[in-house]
């Protein structure tokens, strides 16, 4: 008979959001165990930029996130931001409709800030969170451990891992991403659909400096973003398209030419491109984030289109809100799985997550249409917004984390 391990909280998923929740809980004496199906990620290493013809080795990881001020403040609070070994602030945004002359531009000054957010490599944030968790030395992280099954009990859950190990906990937190096993096993219904789009992701070297501006073009193929990295001529590219095959198959030189055209040569020619990757894009939202003794956070609760770079930001806000409830109510009579505390978490997060999801969906549809009337309206709307201080301030504040 296998021994059953007992803890207060199990966080299933050691991605950005699960680890951030773990770090936020280290200020308590709660026994927390984080498990992940994958092996422990390697610590990032610094590599020199090298380019031969159009083939680039940028030394930057392919997956980056634009983090807003709330996410950065949360990561500071849990003691991880201080160990993020590389990040670059962006100070302005430019959004262009490539099918006309619509444009919205603003900078941090416009809303009285010194920056709008930071571009960080996901692996560097994960590494910083792992350093913080190791220093606190009270959270167990178990790698290569896939959760396969779970049974509800009166005072929590009993979990079964793929290798047969069992864990009993008062609260299970699903931070296990868009295809959440916890959501499926808990029978929590979600609404979702595939965009039939994939994100082509890579790093590039540009002819002119990015000037710490995050740029986006709504191209005929789909939204294209250039996010400024920590070196003046390097950007991270996210291009969401329906058929990525030709973009993936073309030579580095042809791909650079295609990107220069799609970005209207705003940063001149594209001089080189690093390895290209694709990620499928889906949207889903769980109708409930909670059950007694169970909560979902991050992509497990809601996955949104990356066009406004908000998924991780919403996930960190979930982790902050859930941690705050758990830290406040851990001594309550009902204990750590207290349904009322979990309900407060859900109530505090679901409306704003839904609002952002709906806004992204509206943007996605508005910019996918080939209807000339709607194209005209969209272009005119963008020009009017750009001339309207109130609307522009609203958008600038939303993009950089409100407040
Ligand atoms: C191309 C692209 C660009 C993006 N850009 C931005 C951006 O600029 N800004 C932003 O805020 N967001 C961005 N996002 C969104 C952001 O990347 C995600 O919202 C975020 O990474 C989700 O983190 P998570 O921890 O919730 O889930 P994940 O990162 O998916 O982590 C889930 C973890 O759970 C583990 N797991 C899964 N199932 C099991 C199981 N059964 N047992 C054990 N472990 C399991 C997995 O191994 C994984 O480690 C982007 C997304 C994409 C696709």
Tens digit of each residue's pLDDT (9 = 90 or more) over 314-333: 999 999 999 999 998 777 77
Residue 225 Ramachandran class (φ > 0 left, ψ -120 to 50 alpha, else beta): beta
Instruction: Please tell me which residue, 349 or 383, carries the higher pLDDT value.
Output: 349
Span 119-124, mean pLDDT? 97
Closest residue CA from atom 50 of ligand 1: 306
| Residue 9 pLDDT > 70 | yes
100/133 Cα distance (integer angstroms): 49
Residue 179 CA to ligand 1 centre (angstroms): 10
CB-defined site of ligand 1, < 6 Å: 12-18, 35-38, 65-66, 146-147, 175-177, 181, 199, 201, 238, 279, 298-299, 306, 309-313, 315
Note the pLDDT of residue 392: 63
Span 148-173, mean pLDDT? 96
pTM: 0.93
Closest residue CA from atom 37 of ligand 1: 176
Q: Are 173 and 11 in contact (CB under 8 A)?
A: yes
Span 264-282, mean pLDDT? 96
Note the pLDDT of residue 373: 60
Instruction: Please tell me which residue, 238 or 104, carries the higher pLDDT value.
Output: 238
| 273-277, 328-332, 342-346, range with the lowest pLDDT | 328-332
356/348 Cα distance (integer angstroms): 14
CA nearest to 379, candidates 366, 394, 365, 398: 366
390 confidence band (pLDDT: 50, 70, 90): low
Residue 126 CA to ligand 1 centre (angstroms): 11
| Residue 347 pLDDT > 90 | yes
Average pLDDT over the chain reads: 90
| Residue 364 pLDDT > 70 | no
198/108 Cα distance (integer angstroms): 31
| Residue 207 pLDDT > 90 | yes
Residue 71 CA to ligand 1 centre (angstroms): 15
Whole-number Cα distances in Å, 300 to 147, 342, 372: 14, 16, 37
206: exposed, middle or buried (Cβ count in 10 Å: 0-12, 13-18, 19+):
buried
Instruction: Please tell me which residue, 376 or 203, carries the higher pLDDT value.
Output: 203
125 confidence band (pLDDT: 50, 70, 90): very high
In the block, residue with structure tokens 């009285």: 112
In the block, residue with structure tokens 């190990």: 165
Note the pLDDT of residue 378: 62
286: exposed, middle or buried (Cβ count in 10 Å: 0-12, 13-18, 19+):
buried
Architecture of domain 4-254+279-366: 3-Layer(bba) Sandwich (3.50)
Note the pLDDT of residue 371: 61
Residue 300 CA to ligand 1 centre (angstroms): 9
């Amino acid at each position: 008979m296998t021994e059953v391990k007992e803890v207060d909280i199990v966080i299933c998923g050691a991605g950005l959001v699960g680890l951030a929740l773990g770090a936020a809980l280290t200020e308590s004496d709660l026994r927390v165990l984080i498990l992940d199906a994958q092996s422990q990620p390697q610590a990032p290493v610094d590599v020199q930029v090298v380019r031969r013809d159009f083939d680039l080795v940028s030394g930057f990881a392919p997956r980056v996130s634009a983090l807003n001020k709330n996410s950065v403040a949360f990561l500071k609070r849990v003691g991880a931001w201080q160990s993020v070994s590389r990040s670059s602030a962006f100070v302005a945004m430019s959004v262009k409709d490539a099918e006309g002359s619509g444009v919205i531009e603003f900078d941090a000054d416009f809303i009285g800030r010194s920056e709008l957010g930071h571009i960080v490599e996901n692996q560097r944030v994960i590494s910083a969170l792992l350093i913080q968790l190791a220093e606190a030395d009270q959270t167990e992280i178990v790698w290569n451990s896939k959760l396969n099954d779970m049974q509800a009990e009166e005072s929590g859950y009993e979990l079964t891992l793929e290798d047969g190990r069992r864990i009993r906990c008062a609260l299970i937190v699903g931070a296990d991403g868009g295809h959440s096993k916890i959501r499926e096993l808990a029978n929590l219904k979600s609404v979702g659909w595939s965009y039939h789009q994939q994100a082509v992701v890579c790093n590039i070297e540009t002819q002119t400096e990015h000037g710490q501006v995050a740029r986006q073009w709504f191209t005929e193929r789909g939204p294209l973003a250039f996010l400024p990295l920590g070196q003046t001529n390097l950007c991270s590219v996210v291009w969401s398209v329906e058929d990525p095959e030709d973009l993936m198959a073309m030579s580095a030189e042809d791909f650079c030419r295609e990107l220069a055209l799609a970005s209207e040569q705003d940063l001149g020619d594209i001089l080189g491109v690093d390895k290209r990757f694709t990620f499928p894009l889906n949207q889903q939202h769980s109708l409930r984030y909670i059950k007694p003794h169970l909560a979902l956070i991050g992509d497990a609760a809601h996955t949104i289109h990356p066009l406004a770079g908000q998924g991780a930001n919403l996930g960190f806000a979930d982790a902050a809100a859930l941690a705050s409830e758990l830290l406040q109510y851990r001594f309550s009579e009902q204990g750590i799985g207290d349904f009322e505390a979990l309900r407060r978490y859900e109530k505090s997060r679901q409306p704003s997550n839904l609002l952002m999801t709906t806004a992204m969906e509206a943007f996605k549809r508005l910019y996918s249409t080939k209807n000339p009337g709607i194209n005209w309206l969209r272009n005119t709307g963008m020009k009017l917004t750009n001339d309207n201080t109130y609307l522009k301030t609203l958008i600038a504040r939303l993009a950089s984390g409100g407040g």
